[in-house]
């Protein structure tokens, strides 16, 4: 204090001025900090209020997201587009503006908002993934109508032209659920599985049918393979894709032409052979009847055979046989003279008497009646053959062969029964 007293007037003034400035500075700093703290606290409260309001607004977005699918079945909303999902995702993408407020001072409110927003983002991501799966599967099928839209599922649509097996395989690896769990056991997932399986089966069906058709060609030329054609045609007929079906049917038509040509040729040859056989049988029949009745076998202008009877009438072999039967007695196959030949050497000068002709042997009783009964005797009147035939021609052809092979056969008879 002594020093201050000893100071000059000017020095005392300067000292007091500096002291006043210091007091004023300290006091002003304290006042500013109090004011700043009040402003910051107000900002914190405003941010908290805003965060609560934004969190509440998420409930509206959450409800909109919930309406994009049926939580019970898993089916997406009918007509849902990727733009609609993207719009909701965008409303969650804006970051929070804390306005220079420390995050730690509003941590509770920020965490509440972030957790809510994260849940909604997760749900929208699942919906977006399902929509991608649905869009991918729908592209497998012709665009007459979507294979799946909402809860409407059409399972019998044809696949698009030239669908690649690798595309279906890729979708199956990404969207197919082989074992449905509690989280994925929904009607939607089951429907997606069915549509992928169906597309896969149609692709394989086209591949198998194509191989079956190509196997019918050798060096690009259709082959005669009727069995292979029928099997391939069955496979092609099952295809739903019109383009693939038409292309394979066009190739099958080439094979069918070859098969039909070969079949026609074989049928013509068979018919020709049968006609020749029939003519031969008719000729044999006519000759056999002519021999039995004393007539003559003649060929008609149309190639058929008839019998010219001893009276000069030209009739069918059956008519000639009936006339002979009606005329009485049997017609001999080996002896047409009505009796046995004279085996005694004839009259040689007076004393020799010819052997008497044996009487007509009795016909054994009918055992099993059929249409024609053929009996053949030997010279002693013993029955060598007693047999039934379905047709008269069969009986006569048999007799002709029998007489040629058995010299003891002497006489035969054919009866209609």
- Report d(CA 127, CA 129) in Å as an integer: 5
**Confidence band of 37 (pLDDT split at 50, 70, 90):** low
pLDDT in tens, 274-303: 888 888 888 888 888 888 888 888 888 888
When pLDDT is averaged across residues 354-365 and rounded to a whole number, the result is 44
When pLDDT is averaged across residues 368-385 and rounded to a whole number, the result is 79
- Tell me how far CA of residue 335 lies from CA of 292, 298, 339, 412, in angstroms: 9, 22, 7, 9
C-alpha closest to that of 140 among 228, 83, 201: 201
C-alpha closest to that of 243 among 202, 271, 278, 211: 202
How does 46-68 read in b/e, with b if 16+ C-beta sit within 10 Å? ebbebbeebbeebeebbeebeeb
pLDDT in tens, 122-151: 999 999 999 999 999 999 999 878 999 999
**Environment class of 99 (CB within 10 Å of its CB; exposed 0-12, middle 13-18, buried 19+):** exposed
| C-beta neighbour count of 113 within 10 angstroms | 21
Helix (H, G, I), strand (E, B) or coil at 377: strand
User: DSSP alpha helices (H): ranges in 79-221?
Assistant: 82-93, 107-138, 165-175, 187-214
| pLDDT confidence of residue 343 | 36
Of 10-19, 50-59, 167-176, where does the model show the most confidence? Answer: 167-176
The count of residues in the chain is 417
| pLDDT confidence of residue 200 | 98
Per DSSP, 329 falls in state S
**Environment class of 226 (CB within 10 Å of its CB; exposed 0-12, middle 13-18, buried 19+):** middle
Residue bearing tokens 């001025």 = 17
Mean pLDDT rounded to a whole number for the chain: 80
């Amino acid at each position: 204090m002594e020093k201050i007293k000893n100071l000059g007037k000017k020095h005392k003034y300067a000292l007091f001025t500096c002291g006043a400035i210091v007091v004023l500075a300290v006091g002003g700093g304290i006042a500013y900090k109090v004011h700043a703290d009040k402003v910051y606290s107000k900002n914190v409260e405003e941010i908290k209020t805003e965060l609560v309001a934004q969190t509440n607004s998420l409930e509206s977005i959450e409800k909109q997201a919930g309406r994009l699918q049926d939580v019970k079945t898993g089916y997406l909303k009918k007509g849902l587009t990727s733009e609609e999902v993207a719009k909701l995702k965008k409303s969650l993408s804006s970051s929070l503006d804390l306005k220079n407020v420390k995050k730690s001072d509003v941590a509770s409110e920020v965490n509440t908002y972030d957790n809510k927003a994260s849940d909604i983002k997760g749900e929208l991501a699942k919906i977006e993934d399902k929509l991608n799966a649905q869009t991918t599967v729908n592209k497998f099928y012709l665009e007459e109508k979507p294979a799946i839209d909402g809860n409407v599922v059409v399972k019998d649509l044809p696949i698009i032209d030239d669908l690649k097996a690798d595309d279906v395989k890729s979708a199956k690896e990404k969207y197919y659920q082989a074992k449905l769990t509690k989280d994925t056991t929904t009607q939607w997932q089951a429907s997606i599985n069915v549509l992928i399986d169906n597309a896969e089966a149609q692709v394989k069906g086209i591949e198998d049918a194509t191989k079956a058709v190509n196997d019918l060609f050798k060096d690009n030329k259709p082959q005669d393979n009727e069995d292979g054609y029928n099997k391939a045609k069955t496979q092609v007929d099952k295809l739903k894709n019109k383009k693939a079906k038409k292309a394979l049917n066009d190739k099958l038509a080439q094979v069918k032409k070859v098969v039909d040509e070969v079949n026609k040729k074989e049928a013509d040859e068979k018919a020709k052979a049968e006609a020749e056989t029939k003519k031969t049988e008719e000729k044999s029949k006519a000759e056999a009847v002519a021999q039995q009745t004393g007539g003559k076998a003649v060929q008609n202008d149309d190639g058929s055979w008839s019998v010219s009877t001893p009276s000069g009438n030209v009739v069918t072999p059956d008519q000639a046989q009936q006339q002979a039967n009606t005329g009485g007695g049997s017609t001999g196959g080996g002896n047409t003279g009505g009796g046995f030949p004279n085996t005694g050497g004839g009259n040689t000068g007076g004393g020799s008497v010819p052997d008497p002709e044996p009487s007509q042997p009795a016909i054994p009783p009918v055992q099993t009646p059929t249409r024609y009964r053929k009996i053949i005797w030997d010279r002693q009147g013993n029955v060598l053959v007693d047999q039934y035939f379905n047709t008269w021609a069969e009986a006569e052809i048999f007799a002709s062969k029998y007489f040629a092979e058995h010299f003891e056969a002497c006489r035969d008879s054919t009866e209609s029964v």
